[in-house]
Amino acid sequence: MNGASNTLISSGVYKELVALRHDIHAHPELAYKENRTAEIIAKKLISFGLVVHTGIAETGIVGVLDFEQEGPSVGFRADMDALPITEETGATYTSKHTGIMHACGHDGHTTMLLGAAEILSRTKGLKGRLIFIFQPAEENEGGAKKMVQEGLFDRFPVEKIYAIHNMPNIPIGTIMAKAGHVSASFDIFNIVVEGQGGHGAMPETTRDPIPAVSALILSLNTIVSRNICPIDSAVITVGQIEGGQTFNVIPDNVTISGSCRSHSAEVQKIIKQRILDVCAGIGMAYDVKISCSYEERYPPVCNDEKATLALQQALSTSEENYKIIQNFTPLMGSEDFAFMSNEVPGCYFIIGNGHNCGPLHSPTYNFNDEALPVGVSSWVHLAKALLK
Protein backbone atom coordinates (compact mmCIF):
# COMPACT_ATOMS: atom_id res chain seq x y z
CA MET A 1 0.00 0.00 0.00
CA ASN A 2 1.33 3.43 -0.85
CA GLY A 3 0.15 6.98 -0.96
CA ALA A 4 -1.83 6.58 -4.17
CA SER A 5 -3.08 2.96 -3.91
CA ASN A 6 -6.17 3.31 -1.77
CA THR A 7 -9.84 2.93 -2.66
CA LEU A 8 -10.75 6.23 -0.97
CA ILE A 9 -7.73 8.46 -1.61
CA SER A 10 -6.96 9.71 -5.11
CA SER A 11 -3.49 10.96 -6.00
CA GLY A 12 -4.80 14.54 -5.88
CA VAL A 13 -6.28 14.13 -2.40
CA TYR A 14 -3.10 12.43 -1.26
CA LYS A 15 -1.05 15.45 -2.36
CA GLU A 16 -3.41 17.75 -0.42
CA LEU A 17 -3.03 15.62 2.71
CA VAL A 18 0.76 15.67 2.41
CA ALA A 19 0.81 19.45 1.97
CA LEU A 20 -1.37 19.92 5.05
CA ARG A 21 0.75 17.57 7.14
CA HIS A 22 3.96 19.32 6.07
CA ASP A 23 2.49 22.71 6.96
CA ILE A 24 1.50 21.54 10.44
CA HIS A 25 4.88 19.86 10.85
CA ALA A 26 6.72 23.08 9.98
CA HIS A 27 4.77 25.02 12.62
CA PRO A 28 4.79 22.81 15.75
CA GLU A 29 3.22 24.05 18.97
CA LEU A 30 3.60 22.84 22.55
CA ALA A 31 0.88 21.82 24.99
CA TYR A 32 -2.01 24.29 25.30
CA LYS A 33 -0.33 26.59 22.76
CA GLU A 34 -1.67 24.86 19.65
CA ASN A 35 -3.39 28.06 18.49
CA ARG A 36 -2.32 28.03 14.83
CA THR A 37 -3.05 24.32 14.52
CA ALA A 38 -6.46 24.74 16.17
CA GLU A 39 -7.31 27.59 13.81
CA ILE A 40 -6.46 25.45 10.77
CA ILE A 41 -8.57 22.58 12.12
CA ALA A 42 -11.57 24.80 12.88
CA LYS A 43 -11.52 26.41 9.43
CA LYS A 44 -11.26 23.03 7.72
CA LEU A 45 -14.11 21.52 9.72
CA ILE A 46 -16.34 24.54 9.08
CA SER A 47 -15.61 24.28 5.35
CA PHE A 48 -16.75 20.63 5.50
CA GLY A 49 -20.07 21.74 6.99
CA LEU A 50 -19.49 20.52 10.54
CA VAL A 51 -20.65 22.36 13.65
CA VAL A 52 -17.43 23.43 15.38
CA HIS A 53 -16.79 24.10 19.07
CA THR A 54 -13.51 25.75 20.11
CA GLY A 55 -11.70 26.56 23.34
CA ILE A 56 -12.29 23.21 25.04
CA ALA A 57 -9.35 22.62 27.38
CA GLU A 58 -7.91 25.92 26.08
CA THR A 59 -7.07 24.96 22.49
CA GLY A 60 -9.14 21.81 21.96
CA ILE A 61 -11.55 21.55 19.03
CA VAL A 62 -14.68 19.43 18.61
CA GLY A 63 -16.41 19.04 15.27
CA VAL A 64 -19.91 17.54 15.14
CA LEU A 65 -21.20 15.77 12.05
CA ASP A 66 -24.87 14.80 12.14
CA PHE A 67 -26.34 12.48 9.53
CA GLU A 68 -29.93 12.62 8.33
CA GLN A 69 -31.19 9.64 10.32
CA GLU A 70 -30.89 9.02 14.05
CA GLY A 71 -28.37 6.46 15.22
CA PRO A 72 -25.38 5.94 17.49
CA SER A 73 -22.92 8.65 18.45
CA VAL A 74 -19.22 7.81 18.09
CA GLY A 75 -16.10 9.80 18.95
CA PHE A 76 -12.85 9.91 16.95
CA ARG A 77 -9.86 11.59 18.62
CA ALA A 78 -6.55 12.99 17.34
CA ASP A 79 -3.82 14.77 19.31
CA MET A 80 -2.26 18.06 18.14
CA ASP A 81 0.75 19.02 20.28
CA ALA A 82 4.48 18.80 19.57
CA LEU A 83 7.52 18.15 21.79
CA PRO A 84 10.37 20.36 23.10
CA ILE A 85 12.97 18.74 20.83
CA THR A 86 15.23 20.31 18.20
CA GLU A 87 14.56 18.69 14.82
CA GLU A 88 17.35 16.92 12.93
CA THR A 89 15.42 15.30 10.08
CA GLY A 90 16.76 17.56 7.35
CA ALA A 91 13.28 17.68 5.79
CA THR A 92 12.44 20.57 3.47
CA TYR A 93 9.48 21.30 5.76
CA THR A 94 11.52 21.08 8.97
CA SER A 95 10.28 22.90 12.07
CA LYS A 96 10.45 26.68 11.88
CA HIS A 97 10.42 26.88 15.70
CA THR A 98 13.82 26.14 17.24
CA GLY A 99 13.60 23.60 20.02
CA ILE A 100 10.11 22.39 19.08
CA MET A 101 9.18 19.61 16.66
CA HIS A 102 6.51 17.04 15.86
CA ALA A 103 8.54 14.09 17.13
CA CYS A 104 5.58 11.81 17.79
CA GLY A 105 3.45 12.15 14.66
CA HIS A 106 0.63 14.26 15.98
CA ASP A 107 0.87 16.26 12.77
CA GLY A 108 -0.01 13.05 10.94
CA HIS A 109 -2.76 12.11 13.40
CA THR A 110 -4.41 15.51 12.97
CA THR A 111 -4.14 15.38 9.18
CA MET A 112 -5.63 11.88 8.98
CA LEU A 113 -8.66 12.79 11.07
CA LEU A 114 -9.24 15.96 9.04
CA GLY A 115 -9.01 13.92 5.85
CA ALA A 116 -11.58 11.47 7.20
CA ALA A 117 -13.89 14.29 8.30
CA GLU A 118 -13.91 15.71 4.77
CA ILE A 119 -14.77 12.37 3.17
CA LEU A 120 -17.41 11.51 5.76
CA SER A 121 -19.03 14.93 5.44
CA ARG A 122 -19.88 13.94 1.85
CA THR A 123 -20.93 10.38 2.68
CA LYS A 124 -24.59 9.46 2.32
CA GLY A 125 -26.63 6.72 3.97
CA LEU A 126 -25.11 6.79 7.45
CA LYS A 127 -27.11 7.13 10.65
CA GLY A 128 -26.24 8.97 13.84
CA ARG A 129 -23.49 11.38 14.78
CA LEU A 130 -19.71 11.58 14.60
CA ILE A 131 -17.76 13.63 17.13
CA PHE A 132 -14.30 14.64 15.86
CA ILE A 133 -12.10 15.49 18.85
CA PHE A 134 -8.82 17.35 18.33
CA GLN A 135 -7.07 17.23 21.67
CA PRO A 136 -4.30 19.46 23.00
CA ALA A 137 -1.47 18.57 25.37
CA GLU A 138 -1.20 14.80 25.05
CA GLU A 139 2.53 14.91 25.77
CA ASN A 140 2.88 14.80 29.58
CA GLU A 141 0.24 17.46 30.34
CA GLY A 142 -2.96 15.39 30.24
CA GLY A 143 -5.07 17.34 27.78
CA ALA A 144 -7.53 14.44 27.57
CA LYS A 145 -8.14 14.64 31.30
CA LYS A 146 -8.78 18.36 31.07
CA MET A 147 -11.24 17.92 28.20
CA VAL A 148 -13.15 15.32 30.19
CA GLN A 149 -13.13 17.52 33.30
CA GLU A 150 -14.54 20.40 31.24
CA GLY A 151 -17.52 18.27 30.26
CA LEU A 152 -16.48 16.77 26.93
CA PHE A 153 -18.81 13.79 27.19
CA ASP A 154 -21.56 15.76 28.90
CA ARG A 155 -21.68 18.17 25.96
CA PHE A 156 -20.94 15.56 23.31
CA PRO A 157 -22.08 12.14 24.58
CA VAL A 158 -20.72 9.16 22.65
CA GLU A 159 -21.24 5.42 22.88
CA LYS A 160 -17.70 4.56 21.80
CA ILE A 161 -14.41 6.47 21.48
CA TYR A 162 -11.44 5.66 19.22
CA ALA A 163 -7.89 6.96 18.74
CA ILE A 164 -5.02 6.21 16.34
CA HIS A 165 -1.29 6.29 16.96
CA ASN A 166 1.49 5.57 14.50
CA MET A 167 4.39 3.21 15.26
CA PRO A 168 7.83 3.20 13.58
CA ASN A 169 9.27 -0.08 12.28
CA ILE A 170 5.80 -1.48 11.64
CA PRO A 171 5.08 -1.83 7.89
CA ILE A 172 2.73 0.62 6.16
CA GLY A 173 -0.71 -0.97 5.88
CA THR A 174 -0.39 -2.86 9.17
CA ILE A 175 -2.97 -2.12 11.86
CA MET A 176 -2.58 -3.35 15.43
CA ALA A 177 -5.72 -3.59 17.57
CA LYS A 178 -6.38 -5.78 20.59
CA ALA A 179 -8.73 -5.85 23.55
CA GLY A 180 -7.27 -5.34 27.01
CA HIS A 181 -4.17 -3.41 28.03
CA VAL A 182 -2.32 -1.71 25.19
CA SER A 183 -0.26 0.99 26.92
CA ALA A 184 1.19 1.61 30.36
CA SER A 185 0.44 3.98 33.20
CA PHE A 186 2.70 7.01 33.56
CA ASP A 187 3.86 8.35 36.93
CA ILE A 188 6.65 10.78 37.78
CA PHE A 189 8.75 11.29 40.90
CA ASN A 190 11.04 14.01 42.18
CA ILE A 191 13.42 13.23 45.04
CA VAL A 192 15.48 15.79 46.96
CA VAL A 193 18.37 14.54 49.06
CA GLU A 194 19.48 17.14 51.62
CA GLY A 195 22.77 16.82 53.46
CA GLN A 196 25.38 19.29 54.62
CA GLY A 197 27.97 20.44 52.13
CA GLY A 198 31.57 21.40 52.65
CA HIS A 199 35.15 21.13 51.45
CA GLY A 200 35.91 18.13 49.25
CA ALA A 201 39.09 17.50 51.26
CA MET A 202 37.19 17.24 54.56
CA PRO A 203 34.20 14.93 53.94
CA GLU A 204 34.05 14.01 57.64
CA THR A 205 32.72 17.48 58.36
CA THR A 206 29.83 17.02 55.94
CA ARG A 207 26.81 14.83 55.36
CA ASP A 208 27.49 14.09 51.72
CA PRO A 209 24.27 13.67 49.66
CA ILE A 210 26.07 12.23 46.61
CA PRO A 211 26.83 8.74 48.02
CA ALA A 212 23.24 8.65 49.26
CA VAL A 213 21.95 9.48 45.79
CA SER A 214 24.21 6.82 44.28
CA ALA A 215 22.83 4.20 46.65
CA LEU A 216 19.31 5.45 46.08
CA ILE A 217 19.53 5.09 42.30
CA LEU A 218 20.94 1.57 42.58
CA SER A 219 18.18 0.64 45.01
CA LEU A 220 15.44 2.09 42.79
CA ASN A 221 16.70 -0.13 39.99
CA THR A 222 16.09 -3.24 42.10
CA ILE A 223 12.38 -2.52 42.72
CA VAL A 224 11.22 -3.99 39.42
CA SER A 225 13.52 -7.02 39.61
CA ARG A 226 12.85 -7.82 43.27
CA ASN A 227 9.40 -6.48 44.14
CA ILE A 228 7.40 -6.96 40.93
CA CYS A 229 6.32 -10.37 39.66
CA PRO A 230 8.47 -11.29 36.62
CA ILE A 231 5.40 -11.78 34.40
CA ASP A 232 4.17 -8.24 35.16
CA SER A 233 5.64 -5.42 33.09
CA ALA A 234 7.09 -2.38 34.85
CA VAL A 235 9.78 0.24 34.24
CA ILE A 236 11.43 2.73 36.60
CA THR A 237 13.69 5.28 34.92
CA VAL A 238 15.84 7.92 36.58
CA GLY A 239 16.10 10.54 33.89
CA GLN A 240 17.62 13.54 35.65
CA ILE A 241 20.27 14.23 38.32
CA GLU A 242 21.12 17.74 39.49
CA GLY A 243 23.64 18.64 42.18
CA GLY A 244 26.94 20.35 42.84
CA GLN A 245 28.63 23.43 41.43
CA THR A 246 32.28 22.39 41.09
CA PHE A 247 34.66 19.44 41.47
CA ASN A 248 36.07 20.11 44.95
CA VAL A 249 32.94 21.07 46.88
CA ILE A 250 30.46 18.66 48.45
CA PRO A 251 26.98 20.07 47.76
CA ASP A 252 24.24 20.58 50.30
CA ASN A 253 21.66 18.76 48.22
CA VAL A 254 21.08 16.70 45.09
CA THR A 255 17.82 16.22 43.17
CA ILE A 256 16.85 13.26 41.02
CA SER A 257 13.69 12.77 38.99
CA GLY A 258 12.25 10.08 36.81
CA SER A 259 9.23 8.14 35.65
CA CYS A 260 7.46 4.85 36.32
CA ARG A 261 5.30 2.75 34.03
CA SER A 262 3.21 -0.38 34.49
CA HIS A 263 0.12 -2.09 33.13
CA SER A 264 -1.93 -2.52 36.30
CA ALA A 265 -3.09 -0.40 39.22
CA GLU A 266 -1.75 -3.01 41.64
CA VAL A 267 1.80 -2.80 40.28
CA GLN A 268 1.50 0.99 40.16
CA LYS A 269 0.75 1.02 43.91
CA ILE A 270 3.64 -1.32 44.73
CA ILE A 271 6.13 0.83 42.82
CA LYS A 272 4.99 4.02 44.53
CA GLN A 273 5.18 2.51 48.01
CA ARG A 274 8.58 0.90 47.42
CA ILE A 275 10.06 4.18 46.17
CA LEU A 276 8.87 5.89 49.34
CA ASP A 277 10.26 3.02 51.47
CA VAL A 278 13.64 3.10 49.73
CA CYS A 279 13.90 6.85 50.24
CA ALA A 280 13.20 6.48 53.94
CA GLY A 281 15.76 3.69 54.34
CA ILE A 282 18.55 5.39 52.41
CA GLY A 283 17.94 8.62 54.29
CA MET A 284 18.42 6.84 57.61
CA ALA A 285 21.44 4.84 56.45
CA TYR A 286 23.31 7.87 55.09
CA ASP A 287 22.14 10.43 57.66
CA VAL A 288 20.52 12.70 55.11
CA LYS A 289 17.01 14.05 54.71
CA ILE A 290 15.16 12.67 51.70
CA SER A 291 11.84 14.03 50.50
CA CYS A 292 9.93 12.43 47.61
CA SER A 293 7.01 13.80 45.62
CA TYR A 294 5.21 11.20 43.52
CA GLU A 295 2.54 12.05 40.96
CA GLU A 296 0.28 9.56 39.20
CA ARG A 297 -0.08 11.15 35.77
CA TYR A 298 -1.77 8.74 33.31
CA PRO A 299 -3.60 5.47 33.95
CA PRO A 300 -2.97 2.53 31.59
CA VAL A 301 -5.06 2.29 28.42
CA CYS A 302 -7.31 -0.78 28.41
CA ASN A 303 -9.28 -1.34 25.22
CA ASP A 304 -12.93 -2.32 25.49
CA GLU A 305 -13.62 -5.75 24.02
CA LYS A 306 -16.75 -4.81 22.03
CA ALA A 307 -15.32 -1.54 20.72
CA THR A 308 -12.16 -3.35 19.63
CA LEU A 309 -14.07 -6.18 17.96
CA ALA A 310 -16.12 -3.63 16.02
CA LEU A 311 -12.91 -2.03 14.75
CA GLN A 312 -11.33 -5.36 13.82
CA GLN A 313 -14.41 -6.44 11.89
CA ALA A 314 -14.78 -3.08 10.13
CA LEU A 315 -11.20 -3.00 8.89
CA SER A 316 -10.82 -6.69 8.09
CA THR A 317 -13.92 -6.59 5.85
CA SER A 318 -13.10 -3.29 4.11
CA GLU A 319 -11.85 -2.95 0.56
CA GLU A 320 -8.34 -2.09 1.73
CA ASN A 321 -5.59 -4.68 1.97
CA TYR A 322 -4.86 -4.10 5.65
CA LYS A 323 -2.81 -6.52 7.67
CA ILE A 324 -4.64 -6.73 11.02
CA ILE A 325 -2.61 -7.83 14.06
CA GLN A 326 -4.77 -8.75 17.04
CA ASN A 327 -2.16 -10.25 19.35
CA PHE A 328 0.84 -8.17 20.41
CA THR A 329 2.74 -7.24 23.54
CA PRO A 330 1.28 -4.17 25.28
CA LEU A 331 3.37 -1.02 24.90
CA MET A 332 5.34 0.48 27.78
CA GLY A 333 4.68 3.95 26.40
CA SER A 334 1.77 5.90 27.88
CA GLU A 335 -1.28 7.70 26.50
CA ASP A 336 -3.67 10.14 28.12
CA PHE A 337 -6.41 8.71 25.88
CA ALA A 338 -6.93 6.51 28.96
CA PHE A 339 -8.87 9.37 30.57
CA MET A 340 -11.37 9.21 27.70
CA SER A 341 -11.58 5.42 27.40
CA ASN A 342 -12.07 5.14 31.17
CA GLU A 343 -15.24 7.20 30.75
CA VAL A 344 -16.55 5.65 27.53
CA PRO A 345 -15.85 2.21 25.98
CA GLY A 346 -12.93 2.80 23.64
CA CYS A 347 -10.21 1.40 21.45
CA TYR A 348 -6.71 2.78 20.91
CA PHE A 349 -5.22 1.27 17.77
CA ILE A 350 -1.89 1.50 16.01
CA ILE A 351 -0.95 1.95 12.36
CA GLY A 352 2.47 1.18 10.95
CA ASN A 353 4.72 4.13 10.12
CA GLY A 354 7.17 2.09 8.07
CA HIS A 355 10.94 1.91 8.41
CA ASN A 356 13.71 4.52 8.32
CA CYS A 357 11.52 7.14 10.01
CA GLY A 358 13.48 7.42 13.27
CA PRO A 359 12.21 6.43 16.72
CA LEU A 360 9.37 8.26 18.43
CA HIS A 361 10.41 11.26 20.56
CA SER A 362 13.75 11.56 18.80
CA PRO A 363 15.21 14.48 16.77
CA THR A 364 15.29 12.27 13.66
CA TYR A 365 11.68 11.05 13.80
CA ASN A 366 9.33 11.97 10.95
CA PHE A 367 5.79 10.82 10.28
CA ASN A 368 5.64 8.80 7.06
CA ASP A 369 3.35 10.40 4.47
CA GLU A 370 2.64 6.94 3.04
CA ALA A 371 0.70 6.20 6.26
CA LEU A 372 -1.77 9.06 5.69
CA PRO A 373 -4.15 7.13 3.39
CA VAL A 374 -4.13 4.19 5.83
CA GLY A 375 -5.24 6.37 8.72
CA VAL A 376 -7.85 8.27 6.70
CA SER A 377 -9.38 5.12 5.23
CA SER A 378 -9.32 3.40 8.64
CA TRP A 379 -11.42 6.19 10.11
CA VAL A 380 -13.81 6.19 7.15
CA HIS A 381 -14.36 2.43 7.06
CA LEU A 382 -14.82 2.34 10.84
CA ALA A 383 -17.42 5.12 10.67
CA LYS A 384 -19.31 3.39 7.88
CA ALA A 385 -19.38 0.13 9.83
CA LEU A 386 -20.55 1.72 13.07
CA LEU A 387 -23.13 4.07 11.54
CA LYS A 388 -24.46 2.01 8.65
Instruction: Answer left, alpha or beta for residue 296, where phi above 0 means left and psi between -120 and 50 means alpha.
Output: beta
3-state secondary structure of 112: helix
Q: Are 367 and 102 in contact (CB under 8 A)?
A: yes
Domains in the chain (CATH in brackets) are 11-184+300-386 (3.40.630.10), 186-298 (3.30.70.360)
Residue 5: the pLDDT is 52
How far apart, in whole angstroms, are the C-alpha atoms of residue 333 and residue 140? Answer: 11
Residue 265: the pLDDT is 86
Residues 6+ apart with CB under 8 A from 212: 193, 195, 254, 282, 283, 285, 286, 288, 290
Residue 3: the pLDDT is 43
- Packing angle, helices 209-227 and 265-286, rounded to 10: 150
Q: What pTM value is reported for the model?
A: 0.92
37: closest CA among 137, 149, 163? 137
* Chain-centre distance for alpha carbon 212: 34
3-state secondary structure of 262: strand
> pLDDT under 50 in the chain at which residues?
1-4
Residues 6+ apart with CB under 8 A from 108: 21, 166, 367, 368, 371, 372, 375
Q: Which amino acid is at 387?
A: L
Cα torsion through 89, 365, 236, 33, rounded to 10:
90
CA gyration radius for the chain?
23
223: closest CA among 266, 261, 270, 285? 270
